[in-house]
């Protein structure tokens, strides 16, 4: 699996510390149709290139099936692609996501880990379907499968689309609010591994474990700190300081929690499909912080020398 584009240039390297008000042409959290994204890996890479990104990671839910295609497209486009995925895990009964950045590709214990995740997702879909059938969506599994349009393991978004298509709810947001969101009947988590187990797969496989979107779990600051402690105790070394659009005060507060723990700061749009609020590379600006950029991590440091990672301010 190629790690760096053919036209590898040691020019305009990413800076060793974050500059104030600087934006970076780096997006380390995006989805393709290998999971619940709309674009093929090739289409995603092309869109990233059009938008001026220089460094990207494909982080589909619980799979790296799109990575080979994305790598080939990235090489064509002259973009630096970091193989990755977003692991579904559990911590204290909450569904927590861990982004795995895998500069060496899929290897080591993560190979088995992803097989386990695939099985878990298949079994979970059956449980979700049973529950939705009891709540007024007959043949839920077949309907979600039809929405997915491929044979990949199903996710909650496929059930959300089925609920909308059948007129059970008016829209996607309503589907999550009433049936699939955190704490609802369709939010089935029992199949996922403990966060410590998932982090161990990543670290033992040459990767960097990144706590995904820490502000999106509805946790208090204190509880978020406990999550970060547990994640770090398991070997996690980074968290997404910026995920899509965030409130600046919340981001500054999160930055302090990273600094207190010496966690590296990552960034990503969590892009899923065109026309949504997120686009590749579109995310809030990184605040003034002493947290080191993720590309300073020893396992990713070679990425700094790939093509330019800076965009002009305000772009």
Binds 27: which of ligand AMP, Mn ion, none (CB < 5-8 Å by kind): none
Residues 63-82, one symbol each (x = binds ligand AMP by CB under 6 A, - = not), give --------------------
Residue 173 Cβ vs ligand AMP, minimum distance, rounded to whole Å: 6
For 238, the 3-state DSSP assignment is strand
- State yes or no: residue 176 binds ligand AMP (CB under 6 A): yes
Q: Record the tokens describing residue 210, joined without a space.
A: 């990144």
Choices 70-78, 99-107, 150-158, 289-297; region in contact with ligand AMP by CB under 6 A: 150-158
Query: Of these, 113, 157, 287, 292, which contacts ligand AMP (CB under 6 A)?
Result: 157
- DSSP one-letter string for 190-216: TTSPBHHHHHHHHHHTT-EEEE--GGG
Residue 30 or 255 having the CB closest to ligand AMP: 30
Binds 89: which of Mn ion, ligand AMP, none (CB < 5-8 Å by kind): none
- State yes or no: residue 36 binds ligand AMP (CB under 6 A): yes
Residue 216 Cβ vs Mn ion, minimum distance, rounded to whole Å: 7
Choices 9-17, 45-53, 130-138, 153-161; region in contact with ligand AMP by CB under 6 A: 153-161
Q: Site residues for ligand AMP, window 253-272 (CB under 6 A)? A: 272
Residue 132 Cβ vs ligand AMP, minimum distance, rounded to whole Å: 13
H or E segment to which residue 55 belongs: strand 55-61
Measure the CA–CA gap between 76 and 278, rounded to whole angstroms: 24
- State yes or no: residue 143 binds ligand AMP (CB under 6 A): no
Contacts of 61 (CB under 8 A, 6+ apart): 31, 35, 36, 85, 86, 88, 121, 155
- State yes or no: residue 179 binds ligand AMP (CB under 6 A): no
Q: Record the tokens describing residue 133, joined without a space.
A: 């059938």
Strand-pair partners of 57 = 82
Tell me the torsion sign for CA atoms 112, 37, 86, 224.
negative
Q: Site residues for Mn ion, window 261-300 (CB under 5 A)? A: 270
Residue 72 Cβ vs ligand AMP, minimum distance, rounded to whole Å: 25
Query: Of these, 83, 84, 155, 280, which contacts ligand AMP (CB under 6 A)?
Result: 155
Residue 302 Cβ vs ligand AMP, minimum distance, rounded to whole Å: 29
Query: Buried b / exposed e across 246-274, counting CB within 10 Å, b at 16+?
Result: beeeebeebbebbeebebbbbbbbbbbee
Q: How far is CA 263 from CA 24, 289, 293, 297, in A?
A: 19, 12, 9, 10
Binds 156: which of Mn ion, ligand AMP, none (CB < 5-8 Å by kind): ligand AMP
Strands 264-268 and 310-311: unpaired
Cβ atoms of residues 30 and 281 within 8 Å: no
- State yes or no: residue 91 binds ligand AMP (CB under 6 A): no
Q: Record the tokens describing residue 185, joined without a space.
A: 């009947």
Residue 92 Cβ vs ligand AMP, minimum distance, rounded to whole Å: 17
- State yes or no: residue 192 binds ligand AMP (CB under 6 A): no
Burial class (CB in 10 A: 0-12, 13-18, 19+), 159: buried
Residues that bind Mn ion (CB under 5 A): 36, 86, 97, 212, 270
């Amino acid at each position: 699996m190629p790690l760096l584009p053919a036209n590898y240039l040691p020019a305009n390297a990413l800076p060793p510390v974050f500059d104030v008000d600087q934006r970076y042409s780096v997006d380390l959290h995006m989805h393709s149709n290998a999971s619940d994204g709309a674009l093929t890996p090739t289409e995603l890479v092309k869109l990233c290139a059009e938008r001026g990104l220089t460094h990207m990671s494909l982080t589909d839910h619980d799979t790296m099936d799109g990575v080979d295609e994305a790598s080939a497209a990235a090489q064509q486009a002259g973009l630096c692609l970091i193989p990755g995925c977003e692991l579904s895990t559990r911590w204290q009964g909450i569904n927590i996501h861990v982004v795995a950045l895998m500069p060496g590709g899929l290897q080591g214990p993560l190979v088995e880990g992803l097989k386990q995740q695939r099985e878990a997702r298949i079994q979970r879909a059956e449980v979700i379907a049973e529950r939705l059938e009891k709540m007024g969506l007959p043949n839920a599994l077949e309907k979600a499968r039809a929405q997915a349009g491929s044979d990949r393991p199903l996710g909650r978004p496929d059930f959300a689309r089925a609920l909308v298509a059948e007129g059970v709810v008016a829209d996607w947001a309503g589907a999550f609010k009433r049936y699939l969101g955190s704490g609802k009947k369709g939010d089935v988590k029992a199949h996922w591994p403990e966060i410590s187990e998932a982090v161990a797969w990543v670290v033992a496989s040459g990767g960097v474990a990144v706590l995904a979107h820490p502000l999106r779990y509805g946790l208090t600051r204190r509880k978020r700190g406990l999550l970060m402690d547990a994640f770090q105790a398991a070997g996690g070394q980074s968290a997404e300081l910026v995920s899509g659009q965030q409130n600046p005060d919340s981001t500054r507060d999160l930055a302090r929690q990273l600094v207190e723990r010496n966690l590296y700061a990552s960034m990503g749009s969590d892009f899923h499909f065109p026309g949504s609020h997120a686009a590749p590379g579109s995310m809030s600006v990184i605040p003034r912080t002493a947290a080191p950029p993720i590309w300073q991590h020893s396992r990713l440091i070679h990425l700094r020398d790939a093509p330019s990672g800076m965009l002009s301010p305000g772009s």
